[in-house]
Amino acid sequence: MNVTLMLRLPIYLDYNATTPVDPRVMEAMLPYFTEHFGNAASRSHGYGWKAEEAVDTARRQVAELIGAAAKEIVFTSGATESDNLAIKGVAEMYRSNGNHIITCRTEHKAVLDTCKALQQRGWEVTYLSPDAQGLVSAEQVEEAITENTILITIMAANNETGVLHPIGEIGRVAKRRGVLFHTDATQAAGKVPLNAEEMGVDLLSLSAHKIYGPKGIGALYVRRRDPRVRLAAQMHGGGHERNMRSGTLNVPGTVGFGEACRLAVGEMDSEPARLRELRDRLENGVFQRVEFVKRNGHPTRRLCNTSNLSFAYVEGEAIMLKMKSLAVSSGSACTSASLEPSYVLRAMGLPDDLGHSSLRFSLGRFTTQADVDYAVERIAAAIADLRDMSPLYESARETGETRDIEWASAK
């Protein structure tokens, strides 16, 4: 039998952009669209009580995923809103203490654009540059702290390369220097163990649709003690979520988010290992079939499901057009419409031509070994076809003159 006929095409390898809703999550949500449709803020009758009970359960489930208390979870519309609330909320609330924020050049646009907006309003922002492997060190962060620093915001895992920053070390620096610390853990959640207390973070952003929950629902962890973090609300109108985020709660979405977190906790011991094995199978297969391939980011300090590869002498967009049976990305989903090379890879020092030739492969819960093996075949075939038309590739093979980069050689 043709193996291709057994596969569901196109094969989805873009789980860092979004994930399908797990059927178990959908099953948990359905009653709250019709039967239990109450407003969680309506506390005068049973419909509201039922909704409130469901939200309370979800709040506990989200908290368990990150080692927090349920009362420290504030529901939002997603990680972008959570990032905005954390950064702007701290900046405005603690303005009398200082006006300096520290972040990294490889952060998600939800953080970078928020910081730039604050700069236009008078705040000062230091953008740290990562090393060639995409890492920012705790020492860099500490060196950047001034007497006016009120917030550090460094992501737990990069969405393009999967690189894992030393959040625990940075958290210890923040605590020692008395600076609030926010981390966007959207990509890390469900893939690596998270514990807000042990990591020393004061604020932490999450999004349901990255962990097999629905879109349009997220959360912000806000520390309640040692220290108690206060935020200036960015949405007003009812005082919901402890006056931090007004608006009628998305009860079905909240239920789905909670269930997604519960499943992630239950599968933490097995799923990351499975994904790591599949990711390595993908990379090894590509390295054996294709020459002049560069892995971007730290080789080991990265997410179990993410592989960012540069294929010299071809364009990433052309590769994707050549293999339409694979759903992959040339960068962040939020900037994938841009023809500019990835700002993340550029910040790591990657030349623009290699930035243009990069693809991100991100695997997930429903990725199979057959999917990976098929992907390797399609990647190798697409690169071969495109390089047959590339005079640069032909010249490189004839002269042996390639830039000083550690390439993975085809075997």
Q: Which residues are part of the catalytic machinery? A: 334
Measured from the Cβ of residue 239, the count of other Cβ atoms closer than 10 Å reads 12
CB of 125 closer than 8 Å to CB of 114: no
Amino acid 178 reads G
Report how far Cα 363 is from the mean position of its chain's Cα atoms.
13
Residues 276, 366: Cα–Cα separation, whole Å: 14
Can you read off the two tokens belonging to residue 364? Answer: 């997930």
Q: How many residues does the chain have?
A: 411
Q: E strand or H helix at 385, and its extent? A: helix 369-388
Measured from the Cβ of residue 77, the count of other Cβ atoms closer than 10 Å reads 17
For residue 252, whether the previous peptide bond is cis, meaning omega lies within 30 degrees of 0, is no
CB hemisphere CA count around 386 (13 angstroms) = 21
Residues 224, 242: Cα–Cα separation, whole Å: 11
Residues 5, 26: Cα–Cα separation, whole Å: 28
Pairing relationship of beta strands 218-222 and 11-12 according to DSSP bridges: unpaired
Q: SS3 string of 6-33? A: HCCCCEECECCCCCCCCHHHHHHHHHHC
Residues 83, 161: Cα–Cα separation, whole Å: 20
Pairing relationship of beta strands 306-311 and 358-362 according to DSSP bridges: antiparallel
